[in-house]
Structure 1
Amino acid sequence: MDILFIFLVKNSIEIIREYPERLSNGDKNDLKLHVKSNYLFPLYLRIIEELPIQLQIRDLEFKKHLAKKEATQFLYTVKPTERGSYDFGKTNVFISVFGLIEKRIQSNENLSIPSYPSYLQLKQFQLYSTAKLQNQFGMKRIRKIGTNTEFENIRNYNIGDEYRLINWKATAKTNKLMVNQFQEEKSQPVYSVIDLGRTMRMPFDGLKLLDYSINSSLVLANISLQKNEKAGLITFNNSIKDFVVADRKNYQMPMILEKLYNVDTNFLETDFGQLYVFMKRKLTQRSLLFIYTNFETLDALERQMPYLKLIKKSHVVVLILFKNTELKKLAHQKAKTTTDIYNNVIAEKFNYDKELIINRLNQFGILTIYCEPKELTIGIINKYLEIKAKGLF
């Protein structure tokens, strides 16, 4: 009877995938399967989806008892940790009436979905300036100090205007009080400068430091454009790899996104000398540079310090350093053996070196962001708002 019902009855199961056109790297992406039974009797359903090898998921299975001609859906999430193409195979459906015999039905064709840098974060921080969102994500509300510095026009004096804004030459010509009116400086270049050297291969929570940097740089570019600034991109290791000129064009964000889709780290040593020479030639306007890199020792910093000081003379430099969360746990772990004691001391030494690195950078006026990888985006936004509020850029 089981064979008769399953194999001789000419009906079918309809499976429709509702998958996004692209996946967001490092985020949970919702995927949905729509299932409809065309059989005139109830049956047991088991679905196994052929998932991409990068996800390393081997136990995803859906089971359900369907009534006759019943429709249902299955929702699941995937979290890609690598950028690139994710290839889905066919959908395998196993049906049974009494549970003795199963019939396999293969549905859907092979599907390839690209995994892009986290575009979901762009939507998440789209309304970042609202007080409610600031409290939710830990953003600081920074009071703007000083006055705007970009001249706009000359207008008549109104009661309450500051006396120091009076334009005495215009007042003498018109025989009435005139004041200068200023506006906030706009259309300034903001560059994300991403190190592709070996130090950025270090993984945390499944993502490399490079991927955290890419996701944060996209959010920074989006916010810069919202603030009427120009967003740009530079990637480098021992030479310059990609360069997107800072601009406010409508296709600026898609251009940056496409450039970051295929970038990857290597085991080469980073050369900040090449970066300085390139900036000296290409960046003619004073810019705000967020440099994503990672120095683990003071000696590594000292080798690049002369070039960082030269870059700082022409631009506002913010250097991003990452907290090693594993070392932090190791330093506070209770020692039970002699080996544990050595590990604790070494971990504390590395943590102390990071503090020395930050002090060394601050000594030469180089701004820093020192945070855990998962807190990078919030740290970047807060530092950007702080720089704008203080008029440093």
Structure 2
Amino acid sequence: MKFFFSWLGEIPEVALGVVFILWFIDVFIQYRNKEGVEAKRITSKRLSNGDENPVQIEVKNKYGFKINLRVIDEIPFQFQLRDKDFKLSLQPGDVKSIHYNLRPTKRGEYDFGFIRIFISSPLGLINRRYNFDGAKVLPVYPSFINLGKYELMAVSRYLTEFGIKKIRKVGQSSEFDQIKNYVGGDDIRTINWKATARKGALMVNTYTDERAQNIYCIIDKSRVMRMPFEGLSLLDYAINASVALSKVAMLKEDKAGLITISETIGAIVPADRKSSQLGTIMNVLYKEKTRYLESNLELLYSSVRTVVKQRGLLVFFTNFESLSALHRQLPYLKRMAKYHLLLVVFFENTELKALSTESAKDIEGIYHQTIAEKFIYEKKLMVKELSKHGILSVLTAPQKLTVNVINQYLALKAQQRI
């Protein structure tokens, strides 16, 4: 064609020249502004283990034209996820926020990388990269996001909304609160006749739950607590429940303490109800890890006798996979129950429970189902064995641990058994 129309040979050269001009224009308008984009990652100072933690990225366009962005957030390797990748467009001066959640399943330090932003102008010939918020380290602490909900559980009249049962009080507490005017429905046995004579109207004594009682969470760190369910180990479930129970206990004006045990005694936090107590407990539990040996309950018993001077509630988080394992530890549990109200908390194997309800398709399936039912039945026998020796117990699914333990504490508090 160029033989007949010589001007056709100039079109590729003109087109290439136009592309180069547009490329230089794109480079110029993007790089003339040193800070054309601003971005920052907004998170809490620490993450809550086992919970959905909100993360926000805020991006602002400082160019005088519309830009298209690709935003990549380099999240910690512990999540085993590819970097969070988002695409959006911004008009001049616009500010937009990107929201997503992260659920850590291990305590410790989590390293965030850069927020990498690739922008393109309406010409779309080049991308410019920006980096923001590099090398940010956040600690992951025992679960604290839902502590407000558990506080409400301790004071709300509508406890059934949280899975908490209404407990009928037995007897009358001896902890005096105040003298008030009699109203219909008050117990006539609480009428204060001296105050009535002075006032000239019926006055009654009111009582409140006993306070300042010792509530110790004892956490087993041995190998039996390594088993994972939904990403969290049994130790992590026990730690999260201990933090929530300590918070509720202090809200009820009791003293919260902590003991961790494996083949040796780990951390000991004496019971107290000062404002910094919960922070102390969380800082201790932040560092705790499971061990590979069996717990030394004889050492635990001697430590309890040394540390816990007054009678209190001992909540022992552990796990037994067989009756023989329980029988090995039973003598020491009986000794502790002699001096304190002992509540042993151990776990259902939810995967075995699901397996036992499935319909078997062959001989192998029947065999697996039979073994699963045997282990489930043994767990129920453990509850009866502990009850036979006057030891309270809670057998619970890991996911329901916190609610069930708080429910049991409130029940014992209402029944004045502590």
TM-score between both structures, scaled by the size of structure 1: 0.91
State whether residues 16 and 108 of structure 1, in contact with CA within 8 Å, keep that contact through their aligned partners in structure 2. yes
State whether residues 26 and 125 of structure 2, in contact with CA within 8 Å, keep that contact through their aligned partners in structure 1. no
Residue 99 (structure 1) shift:
3.8
Deviations along 1:328-366, one digit per CA (max 9) or x if unpaired, are 111122222222122111111111110111110111111
The answer for the alignment partner of 1:94 in structure 2 is: 118
Q: Which runs of 5+ in 1 are unaligned?
A: 168-178
Aligned partner of residue 250 in structure 1, secondary structure: coil
Residue 60 (structure 1) shift:
1.7
Verify: 1:67 aligned to 2:91, yes or no: yes
State whether residues 189 and 232 of structure 1, in contact with CA within 8 Å, keep that contact through their aligned partners in structure 2. yes
Verify: 1:262 aligned to 2:305, yes or no: no
Paired residues for 1:225-264 under 5 Å: 225-264=250-289
Verify: 1:42 aligned to 2:70, yes or no: no
State whether residues 74 and 83 of structure 2, in contact with CA within 8 Å, keep that contact through their aligned partners in structure 1. no
Verify: 1:5 aligned to 2:22, yes or no: no
Residue 151 (structure 1) shift:
6.8
State whether residues 219 and 261 of structure 2, in contact with CA within 8 Å, keep that contact through their aligned partners in structure 1. yes
Aligned partner of residue 84 in structure 2, secondary structure: coil
Residue 152 (structure 1) shift:
8.1
Aligned partner of residue 72 in structure 1, secondary structure: strand
Aligned partner of residue 171 in structure 2, secondary structure: coil
Residue 221 (structure 1) shift:
0.5
From the superposition, tell whether residues 375 and 7 of structure 1 become closer, same or farther in structure 2 (CA, over 3 Å): farther
Judge which range, 68-77 or 255-264, deviates more.
68-77
Residue 249 (structure 1) shift:
1.3
Task: Work out the number of aligned pairs and report it.
Answer: 381
Deviations along 1:102-148, one digit per CA (max 9) or x if unpaired, are 2221122310010100111212222212134x232111111211011
Residue 217 (structure 1) shift:
0.7
Verify: 1:185 aligned to 2:198, yes or no: no
State whether residues 49 and 140 of structure 2, in contact with CA within 8 Å, keep that contact through their aligned partners in structure 1. yes
CA distance in structure 1 between the aligned counterparts of 2:66 and 2:24, rounded to whole angstroms: 15
Paired residues for 1:246-325 under 5 Å: 246-325=271-350
CA distance in structure 1 between the aligned counterparts of 2:344 and 2:296, rounded to whole angstroms: 15
- Structure 1 or 2, whichever has the larger Rg, is 2
Q: CA RMSD in A?
A: 2.6
Aligned partner of residue 120 in structure 1, secondary structure: coil
From the superposition, tell whether residues 369 and 301 of structure 1 become closer, same or farther in structure 2 (CA, over 3 Å): same
Aligned partner of residue 235 in structure 2, secondary structure: helix
CA distance in structure 1 between the aligned counterparts of 2:288 and 2:397, rounded to whole angstroms: 22
Paired residues for 1:330-345 under 5 Å: 330-345=355-370
State whether residues 219 and 377 of structure 1, in contact with CA within 8 Å, keep that contact through their aligned partners in structure 2. yes
Match of 1:360 among 385, 396, 403: 385
CA distance in structure 2 between the aligned counterparts of 1:123 and 1:160, rounded to whole angstroms: 34
Judge which range, 359-368 or 59-68, deviates more.
59-68
Aligned partner of residue 246 in structure 1, secondary structure: strand
CA distance in structure 1 between the aligned counterparts of 2:365 and 2:221, rounded to whole angstroms: 33
CA distance in structure 1 between the aligned counterparts of 2:187 and 2:60, rounded to whole angstroms: 71
Counterpart amino acid of residue 214 in structure 1:
I
Aligned partner of residue 291 in structure 2, secondary structure: coil
Aligned partner of residue 378 in structure 1, secondary structure: helix
State whether residues 166 and 180 of structure 1, in contact with CA within 8 Å, keep that contact through their aligned partners in structure 2. no
Match of 1:131 among 149, 153, 157: 157
The answer for the alignment partner of 2:52 in structure 1 is: 28
The answer for the alignment partner of 1:176 in structure 2 is: none
CA distance in structure 2 between the aligned counterparts of 1:138 and 1:66, rounded to whole angstroms: 46
State whether residues 2 and 96 of structure 1, in contact with CA within 8 Å, keep that contact through their aligned partners in structure 2. no
From the superposition, tell whether residues 119 and 183 of structure 1 become closer, same or farther in structure 2 (CA, over 3 Å): closer
Deviations along 1:145-198, one digit per CA (max 9) or x if unpaired, are 1011347899xxxx975399999xxxxxxxxxxx99865321110000000010
CA distance in structure 1 between the aligned counterparts of 2:312 and 2:44, rounded to whole angstroms: 36
The answer for the alignment partner of 2:79 in structure 1 is: 55
TM-score between both structures, scaled by the size of structure 2: 0.86
CA distance in structure 2 between the aligned counterparts of 1:131 and 1:77, rounded to whole angstroms: 32
From the superposition, tell whether residues 166 and 265 of structure 1 become closer, same or farther in structure 2 (CA, over 3 Å): farther
CA distance in structure 2 between the aligned counterparts of 1:376 and 1:27, rounded to whole angstroms: 15
Residue 85 (structure 1) shift:
0.6
Residue 2 (structure 1) shift:
4.7
From the superposition, tell whether residues 36 and 181 of structure 1 become closer, same or farther in structure 2 (CA, over 3 Å): closer
State whether residues 190 and 206 of structure 2, in contact with CA within 8 Å, keep that contact through their aligned partners in structure 1. no
Match of 1:162 among 178, 189, 192: 189
Judge which range, 365-374 or 101-110, deviates more.
101-110
CA distance in structure 1 between the aligned counterparts of 2:43 and 2:176, rounded to whole angstroms: 51
Q: Which runs of 5+ in 2 are unaligned?
A: 1-21, 180-185, 195-203
Counterpart amino acid of residue 52 in structure 1:
P
From the superposition, tell whether residues 146 and 96 of structure 1 become closer, same or farther in structure 2 (CA, over 3 Å): same
Aligned partner of residue 61 in structure 1, secondary structure: strand
Match of 2:351 among 301, 313, 326: 326
CA distance in structure 1 between the aligned counterparts of 2:92 and 2:217, rounded to whole angstroms: 57
Identity within the alignment, %: 41
